[in-house]
A = this chain, B = another copy of it.
Amino acid sequence: MSTSAHSKRGYHHGDLPAALLRAAGKFLEKEGVEALSLRALTRRTGVSHAAPYRHFRDRESLLAALAAEGFAMLGRAQREAAAAGGLRAMGEAYVRFALEHPQRFRLMFGGQLKIARHPALREVATQTFEGLSGALAARVGDAPGARDASIAAWALVHGLSQLLLGDRIAPGARQGRGQDQFIRDVLGT
């Protein structure tokens, strides 16, 4: 399947960076960050073990690119939710993103990436967050304390995502509700 470049590849690959990122994305969600090795990716991409170094400074840079993709996705999800359903929908979309891409989310917020070392990543992340806080400000106003409330809202949503991902919430707490309904109820408090 997939792009023309795949079948009749000779010495040169055609678009290794994209292929690596695609493979890495799949591997990431299946096995987790710590299991993701560059060499595993080269095997799956049919390329030699040192090839990635032509496109990524080192393993961490590949991870940074992966995280950047993640922020882009999250940003898009947030914009769509904002357009469609307002604040509440944005919160739910945030949590949904985390649950749909647990390992990606972990990579983005887990803290193993030293953001300072990856300007491109810092860029996308900042942009996403500005969009987010912009949307919040537009709906919350500029009263003193509004800023704090925005941060609290974000923290709530983010924390709920983390706890759900980590299976830290006792099964009993859901009290029979579906996951979606549960999330709505908790965020609604």
Contacts and interface: CB of A to CB of B under 8 A. Distances in A.
Interface stretch (A7-15, A18-26, A73-81, A143-151): A143-151
Contacts of A57: none
Interface in A161-189: 161-163, 165-170, 173, 175, 185-189
- Residues of A in contact with B, size category: 35 or more
Interface residues of A: mostly helix, strand, loop or mixed?
A: helix
Nearest to A115: B167
A112 interface: yes
Contact of A155 (B149, B156, B185): B156
A110 B111 CA distance: 8
A56 interface: no
A189 to B, nearest CB: 4
B159 A189 contact: no
Interface of A: 32-34, 102, 106, 109-112, 115, 129, 133, 145, 147-149, 151-152, 154-163, 165-170, 173, 175, 185-189
